[in-house]
Amino acid sequence: MDVLTGGFNQGNLIVTGMIILGLIVGSSKAKMLDSAGVAAATFIGLVVGGMGHWTWLLILLAFLLASHKATKWRFEEKKARNMSESDDGHRGWVNVLANGGLPALVAVMAFFQEDWEFGIWMFSAAVAVATADTFASEIGCLDDNVRMITTLKPCDAGLNGGFSSTGQKAALLGSALIGLLAFIAWYTTNLDSVIIDGIILSLVTCVIGWIGCQVDSLLGALFENRGYLTKGGVNTLAITSGMMFMWAWLRFI
C-alpha cells in the first residue's frame, strides 16, 4: 500500500480518512470547533489530505491544535478584557474557511498539476502565515506595551494593526513550528532529495510566516479599522501574500 504518494491512491486515502476521523472526535471532545466548524474542517481535511497528502493534513491539524492551545492560554483574562472570539474558545466555520480555504486550494492545484513537491511549500507558507497571525493575536493581545504598525505610536491592546514584542515572538514561534513540520512532510515523501534544500525552504517558510503576520497587521490598520475589510478578508489577503512570496522564491531564487 503506497502511503508516500499524494492524490487519489489507496494508501493516501486510507491514512487521510483515519486522520479526519481523529479530527472529528478530538475537536468535538475538546470543543475546539462548533458543529459547523467541524463540518468545514472535515471538508477541508478531505481536500487537503485526499488531493494533497496526509502529511499536509497533519500540518493543518497541528495548526488547529496549536491555535486552540494559544486561544485557551489565559483565556479567562482575555474574556474579561473582551479579547476572546467566543465564550468558550471554540472557533466556527468562518474562521476555518478563512485559514484553511487557501491551503485547500493549493492541494487542488497540486493534484491537477501532479506536483506535490512544489505544493507542499506553497501549502506550508499559507499555513505558516495563519499560524503566525493566530499566535500573535492570541498570545500578544495581553501585552499592554502595544504600538500601531503604521505609526509606531502606542495604542490599545487588541486593536487591529497593533503589535507587541510578545506578539512578534509568538508569531515567529508559530511560523517556526510550521516550517519544521513542512520539512518533515517534505522529506517523508522525498527521501532521495538533498536535505539542505529542504532545510533552506523550511527556514524560508518560517520567515514568510512571520512576514505574512506583519502584512496582516498592516491590512488590519489600513483597511479593517476603517471598515473596508473584515477579519476574514484580512486573513485571506495576508495568507495570499505568503503564498505569493513562496511562489516567487520557488520560481526565481
Euclidean distance between CA atoms 234 and 220, whole angstroms: 6
Return all residues near 194 (Cβ < 8 A) that are at least 6 apart: none
Judged by average pLDDT, the poorest of 19-33, 50-64, 124-138, 208-222 is 19-33
- Average pLDDT (106-116) is 97
Q: Identify whether 176 is part of a domain.
A: yes
Residue 15 has pLDDT above 90, yes or no: yes
Q: Identify whether 1 is part of a domain.
A: no
Number of domains, the chain: 1
Q: Identify whether 5 is part of a domain.
A: no
Instruction: Read off the C-alpha cell for 41.
Output: 474542517
Grade residue 100 by pLDDT with cuts at 50, 70 and 90: very high
Considering the entire predicted model, what is its pTM?
0.94
Q: Identify whether 47 is part of a domain.
A: yes
Residue 236's pLDDT is what? 94
- Average pLDDT (93-103) is 91
Axis-axis angle for helices 195-219, 165-189 (nearest 10) = 140
Full residue range of the structural domain in which residue 73 is found: 10-252
Q: Which of 111, 138, 246 is nearest to 182 (CA)?
A: 246
Q: Identify whether 3 is part of a domain.
A: no
Grade residue 92 by pLDDT with cuts at 50, 70 and 90: confident
